[in-house]
Structure 1
Amino acid sequence: MKPARILLIVVALVAGGLAAFLATRGGGPASPSEIAEAAPVQMEARARVLVANRAIGLGQRLTSDDVSWQDWPEGALRAEFITATTVPDAPQQVAGAVARFEFFPGEPIREAKLVNSNQGYLSAIISQGMRAVSISVNPDSASGGYIVPNDRVDVVLTRSGGQHSETLLANVRVLAIGTRLGEVGTTGGGADPNNPSSQVFESAEVATLEVSPAQAETLLQAGSVGRLALVLRSVIDFAQTVDPSHGASQTVTLIRHGHSEAVTASAPRSTPLPGTAISALENPAAPLAQALPSSPVIEVR
């Protein structure tokens, strides 16, 4: 074989081997170390945000030990967060403030949820223009004792010796049950989230309701007329209008086989706005007179 042909074959073999090596080397997936070397990770800029160290209950007065600084991605910062850059001495500044809403561990502290007050806990959490009125309730007159602060209830009056009940106030906020103001923190009553029965009060308690001045007068007057009960509302319709006609009752005379019997029956009446009082307290006969001018007589043969 001629030397030129041998040299050509050697060059072709070398070129083929080099091409195969390069194809194998460049076509496979890169290892993690190669990726790290090619694109080093850059840490996102962070800021220090004031957060709750522990659960802070509604109406609880904060101390400097209840809060601390925590690193927070700058891209996730909100304007209402308190940062070490803007308020370096924030832990000392929030000491003594009262929580108008609950804080959970790790939740950023926001000034909108605090109030600087030297007064009591309860006065700091009442909405502007509203009043706090307390009534005595038992488990059987408060949905089995399952009502907790921040629930919404209807206040129902059953008159002494009467045969009907009527809704006085609708969609009223419960501020406190006994000394309990909220779900968490020192005012939360130590409820166990895995045991719903720990939320129940088993004896007579004082329920404090948030009402308007006019509603406060209605409640105080109703307490001397009959028995008040709290009817728990679903969280779904906290903001909805209630129709108390479902709880209104009227007396009718039922004649069965010559014997008369007084029974109660539901009857429609006007629908109040949430949290408004019904005028039945001022005129006990008003709901009945509006629906039934006179007690109807129903004869059953």
Structure 2
Amino acid sequence: MKEKIIPITAIVIGLIAFLLTGQYLRSQRDALEKERQKLYAGAKRIDIVVASSDIPSQTAIRKEDLGLDSVIESTVPPDVVTPEDAQQIIGKKVIFAVGRTRAIMWGNIEGSDRAAETSLASIISKNMRAISLPISGAATVSSMVQPNDRVDVLGTFSFPSKKKPNEMENATITVLQDVTVLATGQTMAKQAGKRRSQLGNASYNTVTVEVTPKEAELLVFAQQMKGSLYLSLRNSTDVSFEKELPEINFEHIEKSLPEMNQYRQKVIRHRTTY
């Protein structure tokens, strides 16, 4: 009988502890919410311009794309667009996509001469991360990759051979596709309104890209493998995704080179059905 009572007692005690813990956490949450409301109760609020619907990157802003939101003044970034200036941005393109209800920033308006000297963090999309890659020269298409470009990230690494496990072999893989470039060196995307030729003259040793948290881990791991990273430049309107890209090694080149050349001649050069 005692053996049955002990487990039941333990379960009851566990349930009571769980309920008390939940009650305590709720009370703490309510207390924090009250403090937050008290803190902001007397704070000055101002209206700012926000997106009333999603605005894709490189899209001209329309009047119907804009709305207003009331926010606490102390939380407003220095280059946010205010209602009195809303008319000035109509017809201008946004550099990066703006999500619904997100504030419109001067730094995200193409060609704007009113962009404040903001930090890189201000141009990173919500739920995304910025990570810098030590890439320069030929690996960045002769340094012609610029902020706001779209690129694929490729890497060449040494892997254990599948046929000879005790030996290493080099292989090239596409790590990520359709990635946005936030900055090249110290030049950020908010400067993309400048003439491309001016930006193209600047040399750099790093390229900062916008990725998801999981992709950031992948890129960090790729760098730690002591391989070489390269960027391939995409057309700004190309959002295609290539599925099942192969791992390229010497054996693959030997087998696939004739087929790849045939594809180039039939499809790319002559634009016929392959």
In the superposition, the TM-score normalised over structure 2's length comes to 0.47
Whichever of the two has the greater Rg, that structure is 1
Higher helix share: 2
